[in-house]
Amino acid sequence: MEGKILTDKSLKIAIASGKGGTGKTLISTSMFYAIQEKYENSVLLDCDAEEPNSLLFFDASLKESLKVVQKVPVIDTDKCVYCGKCHDYCEYNAIFIIPPSRIIKVIEELCHGCGACSVACEYDAIIEKDTEVGRVNLFVTDNGMNLVEARMKSGVMSPVPVIKAAHKSTSDKDIVIMDSPPGTSCPFIQTVVEADYVILVTEPTPFGLSDLKQSVNTLKTMHKQYGVVINRAGLGDTKVYDYLKSENIELLAEIPFDKEIAILYSTGKIVAAHDDNLKALFMKIFESIYNSYGNSGNQR
Ligand code: SF4
Ligand code: SF4
């Protein structure tokens, strides 16, 4: 698009927080909005597959919907000898078996598709079938903004395969801004594992501090680069600031506790589209990360 930079670097930034409701969607939508005006070939990727909501902030049309499938075992009861080995190997209790009654059943909703049961079975009694676990939806706005959402099917236990597929669908993009699932469990890890840099969003409250510590500990074990944005600054106490100082963690920015921001966000507006100061702030955060962590030579 005219006036945009086609960068020679690639960069993936995950916006994450230890709990929901801290403002990561506000920040990811606003940062993407700010940078996409300048950087060609960028995308906003919503990895919160259980409840993706980034799309609500954009007027976008569905361009493509990719089915994500997972292998689920099917037991051939003619070959099965009801030895129970597959049940013992399944870490997710997805195989129900009563040998004396010759009953065996795969509980598909609990199955994670790991394949351990197939490996365990010595009687060739397990085959695998594809089952849909979700979709990766690709959207585009009238003015060319690219948006991707990972959306798991309801009733499925793990969003991880959908998140993996969503990452793959953005592999041709140079700049990827990811809205991460809340928490520090598998969906968070599957999201940030792809990131060059993680922005942790917190608020200056005891809950915010507790969740921030968990996120930081997880990122340390993953050897990830990260910094912190404090949202609703001015709301609580100074303990989050003390923690950042004591751990030598970079404070990237503070977003004030402000009624106007809250109204914009709660009415489905991209905050950076209505607040030039915040738009400039998000661009500044992005470019400081881009200058330090972008990978030379794009991957297209
Ligand atoms: S391991 Fe194979 S033979 Fe044994 S109970 Fe499972 S499916 Fe049946
Ligand atoms: S594929 Fe893995 S999770 Fe699914 S039933 Fe087999 S062992 Fe359990």
Q: Say yes or no: do domains 9-68+136-294 and 77-124 share a fold.
A: no
Q: Higher pLDDT residue, 21 or 291? A: 291
Backbone angles phi, psi at 150, to 5 degrees: -90, 125
Q: For residue 21, what are the contacts with CB-CB under 8 A and spacing of at least 6?
A: none
From the CB of 111, is ligand 2 less than 6 Å away? yes
| pLDDT tens digit sequence for 218-237 | 999 999 999 999 999 988 78
**Position 43 confidence tier, pLDDT thresholds 50, 70, 90:** very high
**Position 297 confidence tier, pLDDT thresholds 50, 70, 90:** low
The full set of domain ranges for the chain reads 9-68+136-294, 77-124
Q: Extract the tokens encoding 159.
A: 């969003």
Contact present, 283 and 39 (Cβ < 8 Å): no
Question: In angstroms, what is the span from residue 118 Cα to ligand 1's centroid?
Answer: 9
Question: In angstroms, what is the span from residue 126 Cα to ligand 2's centroid?
Answer: 11
Q: Extract the tokens encoding 209.
A: 């501090």
Ligand 1: nearest atom to the Cα of 83 = 4
What pTM was estimated for this model as a whole? 0.88
Query: Given phi > 0 = left and psi -120 to 50 = alpha, else beta, which region is 223?
Result: left
Q: Higher pLDDT residue, 258 or 150? A: 150
So what's the pLDDT on residue 235?
Answer: 82
Q: How far is CA 250 from CA 12, 98, 229, 253, in A?
A: 18, 56, 9, 9
Residue nearest to atom 2 of ligand 1 (CA): 121
Give CA 52 to chain center in angstroms.
Answer: 9
Question: In angstroms, what is the span from residue 107 Cα to ligand 2's centroid?
Answer: 9
Q: Extract the tokens encoding 161.
A: 């395969």
Q: Closest by alpha carbon to 174, among 10, 53, 4?
A: 10
- As a whole number, mean pLDDT of residues 174-188 equals 93
So what's the pLDDT on residue 107?
Answer: 93
Range of lowest pLDDT (124-133, 143-152, 227-236, 290-299): 290-299
Q: For residue 185, what are the contacts with CB-CB under 8 A and spacing of at least 6?
A: none
Q: Closest by alpha carbon to 84, among 76, 74, 96?
A: 96
- As a whole number, mean pLDDT of residues 75-79 equals 97
Q: For residue 37, what are the contacts with CB-CB under 8 A and spacing of at least 6?
A: 4
Ligand 2: nearest atom to the Cα of 71 = 1
Q: Is 50 exceeded by the pLDDT of residue 141?
A: yes
N- to C-terminal Cα separation, the chain: 17
Topology of the domain comprising 9-68+136-294:
Rossmann fold (3.40.50)
Domain range 77-124, its CATH number among 3.40.50.300, 3.40.720.10, 3.30.70.20, 3.10.20.600? 3.30.70.20
**Position 86 confidence tier, pLDDT thresholds 50, 70, 90:** very high
From the CB of 94, is ligand 2 less than 6 Å away? yes
Q: Is 90 exceeded by the pLDDT of residue 123?
A: yes
Which ligand has the nearest atom to the CA of 97? 1
